Chains A and B, each alone.
Chain A
Amino acid sequence: MSEQIGKNVHTAREEGSSILSRSIGEEINVPGSGLPDAGGHFGDFGGQYIPETLLPAVTELTEAYQDAMADDDFHARLDDLLHHYVGRPTPLTFAERLSECIDAKIYLKREDLTHTGAHKINAALAQGLLALRMGKRRIIAETGAGQHGVATATVCALLGLDCVVYMGSDDVKRQALNVFRMKLLGAEVRTVHSGSRTLKDATNEAIRDWVTNVRDTYYVIGSVVGPHPYPMMVRDFQSVIGREARMQILDQEGILPTIGIACVGGGSNAIGLFYPFLGDQIRLIGVEAAGEGLSGRHAATLSKGSPGVLHGAKSMLLQDEWGQVTEAHSISAGLDYPGVGPEHSWLKLTKRVEYHAVTDKEALTGLEFLCQNEGIVPALESSHAIAYLLKIKDELFSDDVVLLNLSGRGDKDMNTVADALDVTL
């Protein structure tokens, strides 16, 4: 991979290249590793590959974000809403029967129990407050499965902001229930018919809206993707997951986990879990969607992609030999994205986090397992992490303590799961 990246290096930023060359094969030290740099680069990844029209907007956003982070009132308001509205801290559940089966101690971080049912609300709420602070009352968002759209529509209803959500026409069909939820919450859902008619194209269309209405519009990005400062900002907002989990597991188990595991689409729930543990002696595992298998249609960007630029950042990307972005596939709409957050590309390159992939079928097995053994219906996304854990159970030791991010609940997936299991509802 380093050879490929070397071939494609084109941001001859001195600090970027030196970090890149220094880091290959070496471990990065301590929390957060201090990245990104001021331009939003994680080594050669990240950055701001956007039309000039948007440059002032991301600069303004970076400043507003830094301002907010230094403001106790902003934190107080955010913490208050995370507690009383979202329901944080979410529980850390010891999964007894799963632990027995795997013969290790498995803890589930219960993001499925947040208001709206997934971790997406953490960053949507924080960005809503930031938009309010910046005086931007028109909110746009992209959504795939609809979870981020629902979270954003929810926050807009709460804060009295106008909300437009872009969604690919294929996803609108697959996720009719979430479309209805967004509309009930007062959002306008705009169907996108271009390209592959899924999340990638909804994102293109949201960016086009932003380019056109940038003066009064805030774009709430749902993952750790997009131009700087989004990957950093969404990571920081989602890190509440890992910070809570770290305290909870020390409290409940008395030691830090030996393994942290989460699913990766764009990568926001994974980075939220991993980030506070980057400086610890802990094995971190991101699980991508292998779809129908890595030689067929899949969404395993880090496992099978190559470096490229999409949606404002350089990162690993599913693309053909000519640099055209290819369609991703996963049974889970939330993982069905041909890109991935630039920090994950960096964490893979530096070998701090390992990335693997499980198939649609394996994910379904993980989902059924958790349903039947723990009484929890996980989202198809999160089921990938469970499936991988089941897959590697022979590698684990009985004194391993595993922290698994259960990023969302599975109610939204019932139609898809029934279809896959050949059940007519």
Chain B
Amino acid sequence: MSTDRPDRIAELFARTRAERRPAIIPFIPAGWPEIDATSEIVRAAIAGGADALELGLPFSDPLADGSTNQHAYDEALAQGVTPATVLNNVRELRGDGVTIPLIIMGYINPMLAYGIDAFIRNAVEVGVDALIIVDMPPNEAGTVEILAREAGLHLIFLVAPTSTDERLRLVADHARGFIYCVSLTGITGARQELSKDLEEFVGRVREYTELPLAVGFGISRREHVEHVGKIADAVVIGSAFVNVVANTPRIERAAAIRHYLEEISGRRNVPIVQTDRSD
């Protein structure tokens, strides 16, 4: 990392490891449901217990995403959301004193179109901590990885249950910040149950790295979080969180987000509201 930049991600995991709990990382497409909604969503998420946020950079062809996220991306794009919107969101949040890790998740093409050097430089300037590029495995990362490292931006790579030991070793060699474990063989989307092989899979990843492990894809319920919390360092809540936002009028949104995250993170001990819909 560059000298004067705090490593918010390392600090977060040091803290959650000490507190013996998983970090809660919701995912939300930037500039959605309304183009100016992101700031209030992030603030409500933090109030509900979010430890970091993933902001989705909308793309016209999100081939690793299920219908929930696809639909949200389509709406965001129709509203004119661009990489500049996402970067401005982060700038605003930092200006308002938000200090949790903020991560941009997306596909490579919009970043290339923006100019990858400029995107990384601007991301660092506004206070982004990490990038997750779903369709850029380490073998294609090349200069992006070098540029990100020089700029002090973590480039987060993914591993999947199909990853061979050779792939796990490769990803572990390139990984910084944390490793994103895709919980299932499939696309994003809320599921009723977690994969039965999740423990074995996360165990396999663990053999190759000391880095924190985040588990995502398909996680929607408190019992999922409890289960993942025993084997990994963080849970990413994507489509289920997106559904909460989608299904709530704006005026009730902040309360619904806080409520959902308090429940799923175990801060509040009430029955889980059924918010997932399978896609």
- Chain A positions within 8 Å of B, measured between CB atoms, are 7-13, 39, 47-57, 59, 194-195, 200-201, 204, 207-208, 211-215, 307-312, 317, 319, 321-325
Task: Report the Cα distance A307→B161, complex, angstroms.
Answer: 32
A-B contacts, 28 listed (Cβ < 8 Å): A8-B115, A11-B141, A47-B140, A48-B137, A48-B140, A49-B108, A50-B135, A50-B137, A51-B134, A51-B160, A51-B182, A52-B167, A53-B161, A53-B185, A53-B186, A55-B139, A55-B167, A56-B162, A56-B167, A212-B185, A309-B109, A310-B109, A311-B61, A312-B135, A319-B109, A319-B113, A323-B110, A325-B109
Q: Are B143 and A325 in contact, CB atoms less than 8 angstroms apart?
A: no
Given contacts A10-B116, A49-B135, A309-B135, contact A324 B160 (CB under 8 A): no
* CB-based nearest A residue for B81: A322
User: Smallest Cβ distance from A216 to chain B, in angstroms?
Assistant: 11
User: Smallest Cβ distance from B175 to chain A, in angstroms?
Assistant: 12
Task: Report the Cα distance A195→B61, complex, angstroms.
Answer: 8
Chain A residues near B63 (CB-CB < 8 A): 51, 204, 207-208, 211, 311
Most buried by B among A50, A208, A214: A208
Chain A residues near B108 (CB-CB < 8 A): 49, 309
Task: Report the Cα distance A55→B140, complex, angstroms.
Answer: 11
Q: Are B74 and A195 in contact, CB atoms less than 8 angstroms apart?
A: yes
Contact of B163 among A9, A55, A211 (CB under 8 A): A55
Q: Are A12 and B143 in contact, CB atoms less than 8 angstroms apart?
A: yes
User: Smallest Cβ distance from B83 to chain A, in angstroms?
Assistant: 7
Chain A residues near B74 (CB-CB < 8 A): 194-195
* CB-based nearest B residue for A196: B60
Q: Are B135 and A322 in contact, CB atoms less than 8 angstroms apart?
A: no
Given contacts A9-B143, A10-B144, A49-B140, contact A324 B64 (CB under 8 A): no
Chain B residues near A200 (CB-CB < 8 A): 61
| Binary CB contact string for chain B from 109 to 150 against chain A (1 if under 8 A, 0 otherwise) | 111111110000000000000000011110111111010000
* CB-based nearest B residue for A208: B187
Chain B residues near A11 (CB-CB < 8 A): 140-143
Chain A residues near B135 (CB-CB < 8 A): 49-51, 309, 312
Task: Report the Cα distance A211→B63, complex, angstroms.
Answer: 9
User: Smallest Cβ distance from A11 to chain B, in angstroms?
Assistant: 4
Chain B residues near A7 (CB-CB < 8 A): 115
Task: Report the Cα distance A80→B98, complex, angstroms.
Answer: 67
| Binary CB contact string for chain B from 38 to 82 against chain A (1 if under 8 A, 0 otherwise) | 000000000000000000000111111011001000100100001
* CB-based nearest A residue for B162: A56
Most buried by A among B63, B83, B163, B186: B63
User: Lowest 3 CB-CB distances: which A-B pairs, in order?
Assistant: A323-B113, A323-B110, A12-B143
B88 on the A face (CB < 8 A): no
Task: Report the Cα distance A28→B163, complex, angstroms.
Answer: 37
Chain A residues near B66 (CB-CB < 8 A): 208
B164 on the A face (CB < 8 A): yes
B241 on the A face (CB < 8 A): no
Q: Are B136 and A49 in contact, CB atoms less than 8 angstroms apart?
A: yes
Q: A52-B182, A55-B139, A195-B74 are in contact. List 4 more A-B contacts (CB 8 A).
A: A51-B135, A51-B137, A54-B162, A308-B109
